[in-house]
Amino acid sequence: MSSGRFLEIACANAPSDKLMSFRAGVSELVYEIPEMDSMLVPTSIRMCGKLRCYGAYDKSVGLGATEMNINERLGVYGFMNTITARSLRHQTTIEQVRNFNRFMSSYISLTSSVQDLTGHQSQSALTSSNYLEQKTNLADQGADTSIAFSAPLPTGLLTSGLIPLSSKFGIGGLQLSVQLESDSQFFYSTGGTVNAETWHEIENPHLVMEVRDPNPDQLSQLMKQTSGSISFQSISSYYDTLASSSPSINFNLGLSRVRSALVNFIRSDRLSNMSFDGLATLMPTLSTNVIANITEVSWLKGGTMYPKHYPIIANVRDTSTTQVCDPEIVRDYINSVVPYINNRASAISVANANRDWMTAHAGASMDSTKIPDGGLTWGLGVNYDSLGGSGSDFTQQNWGLTLKMDGSDGDTTSAFIFVNSEQTLVYNPNGVQVVK
């Protein structure tokens, strides 16, 4: 039987004081898991450190002295913009999840309960179920306060099976890098007053993980292997803008086994704008700060509606005054991450996904404040693998999404698209390759 042991990997590019921040010019945190004749347990990986938040460049003021806060649902995931996994030896990119924090904003709301946000995730990733709790626990701290975290990194590769780290029968070590988010996107004002000197730093960032060492017989067999492969569900990210009442999104994915896709939205002028929570997932909003009611949703493959051969008609089309969020849209959104029948936890509720709350806060500087259950949450999703097959082939046909909604040219909404597909990592002593 193989034996397990735990490793601690320091940040490879950390300075001597182990204090790292976007403001100080640090673009990413780099971790190098070395080559070894061992198997990495990717689900065991935790990014650890201490988060410090300041309300002045000279560190004389804590965040509690300001009206600034961070997204309560995300916690420390808010400062993680992009996660990239590479073979350490070959420097081949295996997976890259851009806009990881926005992906997590949907992922957490669809897979975590309110109790999770307040319970174990609050301890591990500094999440919270509402902004007041977040501000009390995190933001309302003094300048000398640091709060420890130990957060998992749920990318596709890091939720897969064992990864061989050997240069002889594996991928040749693993390099993980976390690109940091800007302070202007990480923080936002909860009261209308913006403190431009708000910033954060991370103290002693490091990874902890489990590796398993094969016994002599297992190692002997592994050494005889000339190649191997790992299948994993990867997350590919895309970005587009909507600027009309009938927007259409199209991408050539080049992916053969697409399992699902989800899309979340925010007005483009609210990104990297401390007056608003740039990591909130909201209904598309017009420049007049009125919700751009979506009346029809059509998922496309090669220009033809698929997997549903009909447009989804939202309940607001026929009842324009309804405040109830459309149940079919919500169900499909959940189904894009976890099959609805198997979902055991979700933070989506009538309190944070209905049009009444969205309307009330569409024009306010406090987009997701004072809203229970982790803040406002909304998005679109589709599942291509409801029968448990290998997904849908988009190598020859474009992936697409069309909407009918209120709006006009100039009402620009940012759409963040995340596609889940099955991919295969093939490796041998000469290199690694990802078969998409």
Predicted TM-score (pTM) of this structure? 0.94
- Farthest CA pair distance, the chain: 70
Q: For the chain, how many helices (H) and strands (E)?
A: 8, 22
| Ordered per-residue pLDDT tens for the chain, 436 residues | 578 899 999 999 999 999 999 999 999 999 999 999 999 999 999 999 999 999 999 998 888 888 888 999 999 999 999 999 999 999 999 999 999 999 999 999 999 988 998 889 989 999 988 877 777 777 666 667 789 999 999 999 999 999 999 999 999 999 999 999 999 999 998 877 899 999 999 999 999 999 999 999 999 999 998 899 999 999 999 999 998 888 999 999 999 999 999 999 999 999 999 998 999 998 888 877 778 889 999 999 999 999 999 999 998 888 888 888 888 999 999 999 988 888 888 888 887 888 776 665 554 444 445 677 888 889 999 999 866 667 899 999 999 999 999 876 667 899 999 999 999 999 999 999 999 8
In the prediction, which pLDDT does 192 show?
76
Whether 265 and 195 map to the same domain: the answer is no
Task: Kindly list the distances between the CA atom of residue 427 and the CA atoms of 42, 195, 229, 271, 359, in Å, as whole numbers in the listed order.
Answer: 17, 49, 6, 39, 51
Q: Residue 153: which of 238, 29, 254, 266 has the closest Cα?
A: 29
Assess contact for 278 and 416: CB atoms under 8 A.
no
In the prediction, which pLDDT does 365 show?
41
Where in the sequence is the domain holding 7, given as residue range(s)? 3-230
Task: Kindly list the distances between the CA atom of residue 108 and the CA atoms of 129, 226, 331, in Å, as whole numbers in the listed order.
Answer: 11, 40, 15
Q: Residue 177: which of 367, 372, 368, 12 has the closest Cα?
A: 12
| Overall number of domains in the chain | 2
Report residue 387 CA to chain centroid gap. Answer: 26
Per-position DSSP letters for 330-341, written without gaps between them: HHHHHHTTS-GG
Whether 411 and 341 map to the same domain: the answer is yes
Structural domain contains residue 153: yes
Q: Residue 67: how many CB atoms within 10 A of its CB?
A: 19
Structural domain contains residue 433: no
∠ CA 50-155-15 to the nearest 5 degrees? 35
Whether 181 and 251 map to the same domain: the answer is no
Whether 187 and 138 map to the same domain: the answer is yes
Q: Residue 56: which of 99, 16, 23 has the closest Cα?
A: 23
In the prediction, which pLDDT does 42 show?
97
- Last residue within a domain, chosen from 230, 264, 287: 230
Structural domain contains residue 48: yes
Structural domain contains residue 436: no
Whether 378 and 247 map to the same domain: the answer is yes
Q: Residue 337: which of 420, 255, 258, 422 has the closest Cα?
A: 420
Whether 189 and 256 map to the same domain: the answer is no
Whether 173 and 245 map to the same domain: the answer is no
In the prediction, which pLDDT does 387 show?
61
- Last residue within a domain, chosen from 207, 230, 253: 230
In this structure, which amino acid lies at residue 217?
D
Whether 279 and 196 map to the same domain: the answer is no
Structural domain contains residue 247: yes
- Last residue within a domain, chosen from 230, 248, 279: 230
Instruction: Give the domain CATH number at 94.
Output: 3.90.249.10
Q: Residue 294: which of 405, 377, 409 has the closest Cα?
A: 405
In the prediction, which pLDDT does 291 show?
84
Instruction: Give the domain CATH number at 249.
Output: 2.70.9
Structural domain contains residue 33: yes
| DSSP H or E run through 420 | strand 413-428
- Say how far apart CA 258 and CA 173 lie, in whole Å: 28
Whether 308 and 339 map to the same domain: the answer is yes
Whether 259 and 344 map to the same domain: the answer is yes
